[in-house]
Chains A and B, each alone.
Chain A
Amino acid sequence: MNQRPLWGSVLLYLCAALVVIVSVYPFLYTVTTSLKTGTALFSTSLLPTNPTLHNYVTLFQGKQPFGTQLGNSVMVATTTVVLSMLMAVTAAYALGRIAFKGKGLLLLAILAVSMFPQVAVLSGMFELMQALGLYNRTLGLVVPYTVFTLPFTVWMLTTFMRQLPKELEEAAIMDGCGPLRIIFQVFMPLLAPALVSTGLLAFIGAWNEFMFALTFVSDDFNRTVPVGISMISGATAYEIPWGSIMAASVIVTVPLVALVLVFQKKIVSGLTAGAIKG
């Protein structure tokens, strides 16, 4: 139907190729760099001549507890997602399905919180973490993380909740279902795709967080991976072990990229529901 002239097609494919190369090449280069050691690191060719896993091995045996930090990150991000989703689902039901006074204002306030710069609460949070005995505890990070992911998860789930059919809820009420049963038994199956995308985005947020993780944890063994990577150093200040840094980067990134690519349709629909219609 849409006839495109030949030069148009050529241009289109050239642009598409350029976009793909610019998007993917830097990470590919990172992956192959992580397989180079010694002087081979300084060659800018993509493919390593003698690929080796040496960097990965030293990473887990180095002076930095990278394995422990990896475990910390998994633990913190997972706990954050679970807590945040539990609170967000019930809150989203209230905001999405029940009409009550002050709802608009509340939604606006939640949106405002999500736009707050983290440093605005940094000193107060520092005091609070120390007072609660959570300073320098890995799991202590869950507290600020949950609060900073909540606005976004609530906002997104509210959008999804609103789209569920009204008849379903009415029928459930007629059958004598309480609100909790409506949420967890009637709506849950329908909300599953939304929960996956929201949960994944919350996980990514907690996994990548840097400012709080850098500030509220001072012990190397309690740090999360992003901070760990930023602090990988060599024997002297002038010897930056780029091979190990690249290996660590690959380990941290591959699971995320894989998850995002597997769930890409859901994530895109989630993002657009959260941002465009918001």
Chain B
Amino acid sequence: MKNRTQVAWTFLAPMLILMAVVAGWPLLRSVWFSFTDTNINNIAEYSYVGFDNYFSGWGLFGPSILSREFWDTDWGISIKNTFQFSLVSVLLETLLGLAVAMLLNQEFKGRAWVRTAVLVPWAIPTIVSAKMWGWILHDQFGLINQLLLDAGLISSKIAFTADPAYALWTVVGVDVWKTVPFMALLILAALQTLPKDCYEAARVDGIHPLRVFWKVTLPLIRYPLLVAVVFRLLDALRVFDLIFVLTSNSSSTISMSGFVRRDMIDNGNLGTGSAAATSLTVIIFVTAVLFMKAARVRFNEESN
């Protein structure tokens, strides 16, 4: 079987080489840049500054992370924004996704149509949904403001995407709208693998549907549900394009990825930007590991 092993590595080689050159190498270079004072206009010339980008007076973690000062810096704000955004939107997406999946799991006329309709938000590119909602939530001509005004719920129009009090929650709302379908479809697929006889037995015994949901359905779909949540959480923590377009990357909504890009490309500080990028990667990795430990999700070959 030695021959087969050889075939395997030959087949994997193109992919592995490409990944090493185009993902591995840039990653190492990014980490290296985070220890330098590189400027984007002249990448070739830089000097090594050690951990200055991280821990010096002007570094990312200059002020202690326990101090108020740290959370008032743009970097601190971007961390806070990213986590607020991720936790709230993933929570809402999971709950609403579960609700929509339960709905689609019922038998009723026109179910296929509803399922098709649900796919629409998912199929719309993020940039388009950002622009689309930017218009629907427009502070002067937007549909939502008009509806709220007509219903007498507000007395003056709200600047959903510009007012710092609303902007981040507007971003959460649009993300929830776009991503609930994805969650719902994953959960629905899990629901449809459940054995019918459990439900039959529960029905014969006259157990309340809510209790059945809590005691039978949830435990049975726990694993696929958690995997979907982990994927979503990792995706949400690196959010960039939605915020960049919907709220123009304003300081009140800027995410960690947005901060990195602004520092690195717009301000040209490739060094400090790389330090922020590296910190972001570590933060995401630690969050993922902690979450999977807490939820006891394991990725191994047996689970395939």
Contact = CB atoms under 8 A, between A and B. Distances in A.
A271 B224 CA distance: 12
B220 interface: no
A52 interface: no
Contacts of A27: 120-121, 124, 132
Contacts of A128: 22, 25-26, 29
Contacts of B30: 120-125
A275 B228 contact: yes
A26 B247 CA distance: 18
A98 B7 contact: yes
A147 B265 CA distance: 22
A215 interface: yes
A20 B114 contact: yes
Interface stretch (A60-68, A86-94, A191-199): A86-94
A120 B185 contact: no
A147 B107 contact: no
Contacts of A9: 108
Contacts of A277: 303-304
A93 B114 contact: no
B189 A226 contact: no
B288 A115 contact: yes
Contacts of A123: 26, 29-30, 33, 38, 264, 270, 273-274, 277
Given A87-B14, A210-B241, A94 B9 contact: yes
Contacts, number: 276
A16 B114 contact: yes
Contact of A272 (B14, B119, B146, B186): B186
Interface residues of B, number: 99
Given A123-B273, A249-B132, A268-B185, A257 B125 contact: no
Contact of B136 (A23, A29, A130): A29
Interface in B109-150: 110-111, 113-129, 131-133, 135-136, 138, 140-143, 146-147
A13 interface: yes
A226 B7 contact: no
A127 B301 contact: no
A124 B27 contact: yes
A22 B15 contact: no
Interface string A18-38: 011011101101100100000
Contacts of B27: 116, 120-121, 124
A117 B123 contact: no
16 contacts: A15-B103, A24-B120, A26-B133, A29-B136, A94-B7, A94-B9, A104-B300, A117-B280, A118-B240, A119-B240, A120-B27, A120-B277, A124-B27, A128-B25, A230-B127, A276-B227
Interface of A: 2, 9, 12-13, 15-16, 19-20, 22-24, 26-27, 29-30, 33, 41-42, 44, 87-88, 90-91, 93-95, 98-101, 103-104, 106-108, 111, 113, 115-128, 130, 143-144, 146-148, 150, 154, 159, 162, 179, 204, 207-208, 210-211, 214-215, 226-227, 229-230, 242, 245-246, 249, 252-253, 256-257, 259-261, 264, 268-269, 271-272, 275-278
Closest 10 CB pairs of A and B: A124-B26, A124-B29, A117-B238, A272-B189, A94-B8, A210-B241, A260-B123, A90-B11, A121-B26, A94-B11
